[in-house]
Structure 1
Amino acid sequence: MSRPAAPAGAESATKPSAGRVEVRSIDYVPLAERHGKAWHLGPVWIMATATVASVAIGLIGVAAGANLFWSLAGIVLGSLFGTFFSAFHSAQGPQLGLPQMVQSRPQFGYRGAVLVWVFVLISYIGYNVFAGALGGDTLQNVVGGSSKAWAPVVVGAALLLAVFGYDSIHRLSRWLLALFLVAYAFFSVAAITTFDLPDGALDPGRFSWLPFLLQFAVSAGYLISWAPYVSDYSRYLPPDVGVRSTFLWTYLGMALSSIWLLSLGALIAQAFTDLGPIETIRTAGDAIFPGFGATALLVALPGLIIVIALNLYGASLTLLAIVDSFKPVRPTARVRLTAVLSVSVVGLALQYALPPDFLTAIGTFLVFLLYFFGPWTAINLVDFFVVRKGHYSIREIFNPHGMYGRWSRPGLAAYLIGFAASVPFQSTAIYTGPIAKALDGIDVAHFVGIAASGIAYWFLTRSLDLEAERDRIAEADLGLEDLAKAHANPNDSPQ
């Protein structure tokens, strides 16, 4: 695997640290600025899923008619499946030192990647609409007042964290981890030993395909939805942490915490029916002992703030990458902060239009994310691990006239093939394809889209002259680490 080097834009370099505004955005992180350990990824992804949103997603299968046994099966299998893709994307970060979306240019082209980035930007904002509403609902339930009035407070706290950036997100996740683990370990054990379950809740004979696959799909979609930006939070790690360690720490943190909290949601949904996600957690906690419900909600609130911060941070990078594809962006702290503020304002405005049927809305949203992200993740991973095997020119990724072209036909064609192949299999409240109808509404579109796009991309790239490409990479990136050091300007921070 070739060692990456800095593209144009390295002049904004400075090593980030907690308590200091991060300067870098879509530009390459030089080796001299790399720091941290692979295990630091575990707390980030535990806290990213340590939210009432995770518990709420665990309610969906039960709400759709599955019993606890099959809801848990859908949660476990969906989480293990979805995390597989996100963890492999995380492993790309230390090797390339670039944000996740910028890494898509070799597969889709300098401008072609924008077609995917638009969907990603929508997903960031969409998730923040849901997360911000949950944060507002949490404070309304515990403190009083209006959810709409609390939403700007929650988003404002996340905005501050996103402004400080990478290191502050990592360190805050580690600081908060112990509190969350203690509180929710107690919650989980008490729920298992205290709550009475309805007859047949654990009966494997009570199986229904539709709610099982719905829970599988939303669980997998929830975790695949992290794929477009997981390496944003691993790109400062030194490349010698290795692909395996980066993968494992991301996988374990994300998968185990998701399985745990989604399963907790399914358990309390069986015991307390016909309630919204916040009310379910509050009621379940108070059933253990009075007042614990409010404590459980407040302990999970920092996780929501971290999630919103992750989305704001990633959305700002994606927005800058989109702009950069049409007009080159000099990556500075001021430019990044402008992008962070812009996406936070848009997301906050949309919160006031949140549909009243929260569970249906988030279920449909997550399933559609899987439709759009499935083809992209397959193409990106096949290119990195199978076709080019990690060999990319960092400088050429930032060159609109470079070796990857403005529009890459193999990537774009494979994406359209994968998405088109999935359409007949799609089944949501908005649209149901003909094959899904024939299967009584069973949705296997995610499998079809991922498989079709991955196979199509591998087939369409067989003619690539990879030896010639690697020679060009070596020539293009020669001496760029030294250039990054020479152009470093630590005074570019707005502090």
Structure 2
Amino acid sequence: MTADGSTTAPAPVRAIESKSIDWVPIGERRGRPRTLFPLWFMSNAQLTTLATGMLGAALGASFLSSVIAIVLGMAVGTVFTAFHSAQGPQLGLPQMIQSRAQFGYRGVVLICAVVVFSIVGFNIFNQMLAADVVVMTTGIDAPDLWYVVITALALLLAIWGYHWIHATQKWLTALFLVTFGVFTVAAAIVLPLDAAQLSLEGFAWGPFLVQFGGAAAYGLGWAPYVSDYSRYLPPQTSSRAALVHTFGGVFLGGAWLMVLGAFVAALYAGVSPLEGVRDAADAVLPGSGFWLLIAGIPGLISVITVNIYAAALELVTIVDSFRPITPSRRVRILACTVVGVAGLLGAVLSTGEFLDNFSSFLVVLLYVLVPWTSVNLVDYYFVRRGRYAVREIFVPGGVYGNWGWRGLLAYGLGILAMVPFVVTSFFTGPVATAMGGIDVALFVGLGVSALVYLLLARSLDLGEERRLAEEDAHAGGPSSVAFDGSR
């Protein structure tokens, strides 16, 4: 059954996915929460993540300092992502469509635009790194050509959709464990670090916080679309299981590769991510660096796919919010193509140092996503407790309104509250300056947005919303499932 109440036959997994922003009918739900682990593990266990682990070292942090920052940052960022993932099976909706309940039918466009921008930004960096790998391994210095090839492969998989992406990530996880898993163990044994790298002597907050922020932003960066990849799971799926498998995949995949990046940076100061990996592998076994880089290419292509697929749903949401459209296979394919081409053009036109640009991008991404995640999670777990009139989410001017002023105000105030505390390469807030450059903007944004939204939500009329949800459920439409933390 679709969001408008019509019935459809379950689509075969082998077919190109036809769903986009519409509700996934119960009859088309399948899978187990454990499938989320390889999906998110492999989305993080790739070379862009490794490069993120070198941010602190580039500013002088020791290996031990970087490891502490990486583990703490990934833990903080990933916990929010995991709680968003648990929403997918309960609602059967993409993340941003669900956010209409907090920001309004049209108000959600602001958040969607931020997410699309961030996803395209990630893909630009991913494509730059993937093209560099191909150039290094083939000797053919034609990055623009490789951008086109990489985009085409990623776009093709994104068009086939949800189930194919899940299956691909499962097989790539096995490939990663055989290649990078063996390399990691061997490097730790064969390539000893200088004793200074294993101490906190000379510790400085600046490099530590840059690495912490980069790791936290990386873990949190999946939050706006993580439930896009859990929405086909049955509604009886344990929320705890979805949360644990998502957290485990993102955290282990991200922390592993970032720590490996910090290790490589500690071995070869000032080296680029790809050169460092190649040199470290060759030091373990001469000639193995070439094959290790080759093994890293599929992971980069697959994460570009994951991003294209999700950004396409956000793009469809943006268009639908102003001019309602019928979700279809053709609409999703068109949106995927637009997102893929945007990333391609961005990669072709981009210049500058990879790590410098990527570090600044991650910091800004963290700032703009924190207030949204705070509002969304507070609404889902504390205000509405998982009860939504799903059909009304697709109605312009319906029970959720066109502009959710409570969510938008809480988001805006969260952004403003962070400004005095931010630390970036182009601006440092006055409070952060007085604190010696310590960046606590993340926690300020989370707290302010959550508190403001909780206060404003007291004026919500949830009775009418729940009545509509119950009528819809009794009529056999999209069901409203109450969140139960014990499930």
Instruction: Specify the TM-score bucket, using the shorter chain as the normaliser.
Output: over 0.9
The alpha-carbon deviation at position 285 of structure 1 amounts to 1.2
Mapping of residues 93-112 of structure 1, within 5 Å: 93-112=88-107
In the alignment, the residues of structure 2 paired with residue 152 and residue 421 of structure 1 have an alpha-carbon distance, to the nearest angstrom, of 42
Deviations along 1:351-393, one digit per CA (max 9) or x if unpaired, are 0222321101101101111101000001000000111000001
Partner-residue secondary structure (3-state), 1:237:
coil
> Paired residue for 1:325, among 314, 321, 327?
321
In the alignment, the residues of structure 2 paired with residue 380 and residue 76 of structure 1 have an alpha-carbon distance, to the nearest angstrom, of 25
In the alignment, the residues of structure 2 paired with residue 426 and residue 16 of structure 1 have an alpha-carbon distance, to the nearest angstrom, of 48
1:200 corresponds in structure 2 to 196
2:367 corresponds in structure 1 to 371
2:126 corresponds in structure 1 to 131
The alpha-carbon deviation at position 240 of structure 1 amounts to 0.9
> Paired residue for 1:442, among 438, 452, 464?
438
In the alignment, the residues of structure 1 paired with residue 221 and residue 268 of structure 2 have an alpha-carbon distance, to the nearest angstrom, of 28
Q: 1:361 to 1:16 in 2, by over 3 A?
A: farther
Contact 1:158 1:309 in 2 (8 A): yes
Moved more, 286-295 or 6-15: 6-15
> Paired residue for 2:251, among 237, 252, 255?
255
Q: 1:220 to 1:113 in 2, by over 3 A?
A: same
Letter of the structure 1 residue corresponding to residue 87 of structure 2: Q
**Residue 44 (structure 1) aligned with residue 26 (structure 2):** no
Contact 2:472 2:478 in 1 (8 A): no
The alpha-carbon deviation at position 466 of structure 1 amounts to 2.6
Letter of the structure 2 residue corresponding to residue 90 of structure 1: S
1:290 corresponds in structure 2 to 286
Partner-residue secondary structure (3-state), 1:241:
coil
**Residue 426 (structure 1) aligned with residue 422 (structure 2):** yes
1:223 corresponds in structure 2 to 219
Letter of the structure 2 residue corresponding to residue 73 of structure 1: I
User: What is the TM-score of this pair, normalised by structure 1?
Assistant: 0.94
Deviations along 1:37-57, one digit per CA (max 9) or x if unpaired, are 110000100110111001100
The alpha-carbon deviation at position 143 of structure 1 amounts to 1.3
2:158 corresponds in structure 1 to 162
Deviations along 1:70-124, one digit per CA (max 9) or x if unpaired, are 1000000001111101111110000000111111000001111111111001011
What stretches of structure 1 move > 4 A for 4+ residues in a row? Answer: 9-14
1:405 corresponds in structure 2 to 401
The alpha-carbon deviation at position 185 of structure 1 amounts to 1.7
In the alignment, the residues of structure 1 paired with residue 94 and residue 464 of structure 2 have an alpha-carbon distance, to the nearest angstrom, of 26
Contact 1:418 1:452 in 2 (8 A): yes
2:295 corresponds in structure 1 to 299
**Residue 23 (structure 1) aligned with residue 18 (structure 2):** yes
> Paired residue for 2:338, among 333, 336, 342?
342
Contact 1:6 1:394 in 2 (8 A): no
Contact 2:5 2:477 in 1 (8 A): no
In the alignment, the residues of structure 1 paired with residue 247 and residue 397 of structure 2 have an alpha-carbon distance, to the nearest angstrom, of 37
The alpha-carbon deviation at position 11 of structure 1 amounts to 6.8
In the alignment, the residues of structure 2 paired with residue 126 and residue 222 of structure 1 have an alpha-carbon distance, to the nearest angstrom, of 13
The alpha-carbon deviation at position 147 of structure 1 amounts to 2.4
Contact 1:13 1:24 in 2 (8 A): no
User: What is the TM-score of this pair, normalised by structure 2?
Assistant: 0.95
2:237 corresponds in structure 1 to 241
In the alignment, the residues of structure 2 paired with residue 286 and residue 161 of structure 1 have an alpha-carbon distance, to the nearest angstrom, of 32
Partner-residue secondary structure (3-state), 2:236:
helix
Partner-residue secondary structure (3-state), 2:351:
coil
Letter of the structure 2 residue corresponding to residue 437 of structure 1: T
Between the two proteins, the alignment pairs up a number of residues equal to 478
**Residue 122 (structure 1) aligned with residue 114 (structure 2):** no
Deviations along 1:226-263, one digit per CA (max 9) or x if unpaired, are 00111111000001111101001101111011111100
Letter of the structure 2 residue corresponding to residue 281 of structure 1: V
In the alignment, the residues of structure 2 paired with residue 158 and residue 194 of structure 1 have an alpha-carbon distance, to the nearest angstrom, of 36
Q: Percent identity?
A: 46
> Paired residue for 2:356, among 357, 360, 363?
360
Letter of the structure 2 residue corresponding to residue 472 of structure 1: L
1:264 corresponds in structure 2 to 260
Deviations along 1:2-46, one digit per CA (max 9) or x if unpaired, are xxx7423867774251x4210000000000000001100001001
Letter of the structure 1 residue corresponding to residue 344 of structure 2: L
The alpha-carbon deviation at position 477 of structure 1 amounts to 4.8
**Residue 34 (structure 1) aligned with residue 29 (structure 2):** yes
Contact 1:60 1:215 in 2 (8 A): yes
Deviations along 1:442-482, one digit per CA (max 9) or x if unpaired, are 22111111111111111110222333431232124542449
1:83 corresponds in structure 2 to 78
The alpha-carbon deviation at position 174 of structure 1 amounts to 1.1
Letter of the structure 2 residue corresponding to residue 395 of structure 1: R
5+ residue gaps in structure 1? 484-495
RMSD over aligned Cα atoms:
1.6
Q: 1:345 to 1:12 in 2, by over 3 A?
A: farther
**Residue 210 (structure 1) aligned with residue 206 (structure 2):** yes
2:271 corresponds in structure 1 to 275
